[in-house]
Chains A and B, each alone.
Chain A
Amino acid sequence: MIVSEAITTYGVDVLQHLDRDVEIPTVTTAACQGDVSILRVTKDPATAVVPQAGVAVVRGENGGNTHSLHGQGPIMWEVARQAEGSLLLGRLTVPEGSEAVMAHPEHGFLAIAPGTYEIGRQREYRGEWALVAD
Chain B
Amino acid sequence: MLNKLTAEQEAELVTIREEWISHGLSCKSANREAAAEGVNAAYRAAGLEPPKLLIWLDSPLAGAYGAHLVSELLKGAGRDQVRDQVRDQVRDQVWDQVGAQVWDQVWDQVRAQVRDQVRDQVRAQVGAQVWDQVRDQVGAQVRDQVGAQVGAQVRDQVRAQVNNSINGYWGDIAWTAFYVAFHRLGVEGASKIVGLAQVAQNAGWWFPLRDAAILCERPTAIHRDNQGRLHNEDGPAVSYPDGWGVWSWHGTRVPRGLIEKGWGLKEIFAERNSEIRRCAVEKIGWDVFIQESGLKKVASCPDPGNDPFHLALYDLPEEFEDMYDADARILLCVNGTIEPDGTRRRFGLPVPGHHTDPIEAAADLYGWPVEAYRRLQVRR
Contact A33 B380 (CB under 8 A): yes
Task: Give A87's nearest chain B residue, CB to CB.
Answer: B367
Q: List 15 A-B contacts (CB under 8 A).
A: A16-B340, A25-B380, A29-B375, A29-B377, A30-B305, A30-B368, A30-B372, A30-B376, A32-B305, A107-B380, A108-B380, A110-B378, A127-B325, A128-B325, A133-B225
Contact A61 B226 (CB under 8 A): yes
Minimum distance in angstroms from B341 CB to a CB of chain A: 8
Stretch of B35-43, B176-184, B237-245, B345-353 contacting A (4+ beta carbons < 8 Å): B345-353
Could you give, for residues 55-89 of chain A, a 1 whenever the CB lies within 8 Å of some chain B CB and a 0 otherwise? 00001110001000000000000000000000100
Minimum distance in angstroms from A103 CB to a CB of chain B: 10
In the complex, what residues of A have CB within 8 A of residue B373's CB?
A: 30
Contact B372 A128 (CB under 8 A): no
In the complex, what residues of B have CB within 8 A of residue A133's CB?
A: 225-227, 229, 231, 250
How many residues on B have C-beta within 8 angstroms of the other chain's C-beta atoms? 36
Stretch of A4-12, A46-54, A91-99, A117-125 contacting B (4+ beta carbons < 8 Å): A117-125
Could you give, for residues 101-116 of chain A, a 1 whenever the CB lies within 8 Å of some chain B CB and a 0 otherwise? 0001011111000000
Does A18 touch B at the CB level, under 8 Å? yes
Using a CB–CB distance below 8 Å, which chain A residues touch chain B?
15-18, 25, 27-34, 37, 39, 59-61, 65, 87, 104, 106-110, 120-128, 131-134
Task: Give A128's nearest chain B residue, CB to CB.
Answer: B325
Contact B366 A87 (CB under 8 A): yes
Contact A31 B379 (CB under 8 A): yes
Contact A122 B350 (CB under 8 A): no
- In the assembly, what is the distance between CA of A132 and CA of B305, in Å? 20
Minimum distance in angstroms from A88 CB to a CB of chain B: 8
Minimum distance in angstroms from B152 CB to a CB of chain A: 18
Minimum distance in angstroms from B296 CB to a CB of chain A: 18
Does B270 touch A at the CB level, under 8 Å? no
Q: Assuming the A-B contacts A60-B226, A61-B226, A132-B349, are A28 and B325 also in contact, with contact meaning beta carbons closer than 8 angstroms in the complex?
A: no
Nearest 10 interchain pairs by C-beta: A127-B325, A127-B324, A17-B340, A37-B366, A124-B349, A25-B378, A127-B326, A107-B380, A87-B367, A61-B226
In the complex, what residues of B have CB within 8 A of residue A108's CB?
A: 337, 380
Could you give, for residues 357-380 of chain B, a 1 whenever the CB lies within 8 Å of some chain A CB and a 0 otherwise? 000000011111000110111111
In the complex, what residues of B have CB within 8 A of residue A104's CB?
A: 380
A32-B366, A122-B349, A126-B328 given; name 4 further pairs at CB < 8 Å. A31-B380, A104-B380, A122-B365, A133-B226
In the complex, what residues of A have CB within 8 A of residue B14's CB?
A: none
| Cross-interface CB contact of A107 among B224, B328, B336, B351, cutoff 8 Å | B336
Contact A32 B376 (CB under 8 A): yes
Minimum distance in angstroms from B118 CB to a CB of chain A: 31
Does B338 touch A at the CB level, under 8 Å? yes
Contact B377 A25 (CB under 8 A): yes
| Cross-interface CB contact of B226 among A33, A87, A128, A134, cutoff 8 Å | A134
Minimum distance in angstroms from B350 CB to a CB of chain A: 5
Task: Give A132's nearest chain B residue, CB to CB.
Answer: B349
Minimum distance in angstroms from A130 CB to a CB of chain B: 9
